[in-house]
Amino acid sequence: MPDSKKSQAHEHADNRLEDLAAHFRGPLRAFLRKRLPPGTDPDDYVQEVFLRLARRADLADVDNLEGYIFQIAVNLVRDDRRRASTSNRMAHVEFNESFHGYQFLSPERVLIGKDDVNALVKALEKLPERTRHVFVLRRFEGLRYGEIAQRLGVSVSSVEKHMVRAIASIDDLLGARK
């Protein structure tokens, strides 16, 4: 293809992309705003949608261009959520010295901590086996009540009752120490 035809084809693609951006920018922004976490700028995603469209060699072979554009947006949100969950991004907190402040752990504080852990272990040992098992699965392994119920072959209500008993017993045993 001669240079003038390449230039015309490129200019036509640019105009087509500008037309698509003018037509879909607002609807895409609204669509993304509903699907993104609060405080996330949908314009960054809109820009990425059109960047991906610009990278595509030819849009003429796309049957449903509107559906294709919105599918790109959905994929961007999905990919971002996947990256956030694998990096646990939402669990990260910016360091703030007034919030996280450095605390010197004196030998006395370490000893108190060890005593507290030992008291908790003794309190756990005094619980009935099933109650202790439920407590450990919930508090130390992070299982949900439904998962615990399924694992132990009991109802969710039963798991809730065991947790109430465990917390009350541990609170009584540890509260009596102070």
Query: What percentage of the chain exceeds 70 in pLDDT?
Result: 80
- Average pLDDT across the chain, whole number: 83
Does the structural domain 105-175 have CATH classification 1.10.10.10? yes
Cα–Cα dist 84/10, whole Å = 37
List pLDDT tens digits, range 49-100.
988 888 886 777 888 989 999 999 999 999 888 887 776 655 666 666 666 5
Q: Which class is 3-91 in CATH?
A: mainly alpha
- Model pTM score: 0.45
Domain residue ranges in the chain: 3-91, 105-175
Two domains, one topology: 3-91 and 105-175: no
Contacts 24+ apart (CB under 8 A), 158-166: 159/134, 162/130, 162/131, 162/134, 162/135, 163/134, 163/135, 163/138, 165/127, 165/128, 165/131, 166/127, 166/131, 166/132, 166/134, 166/135
Q: What's residue 20's pLDDT?
A: 86
32-43 pLDDT, tens digit per residue, is 999 988 888 888
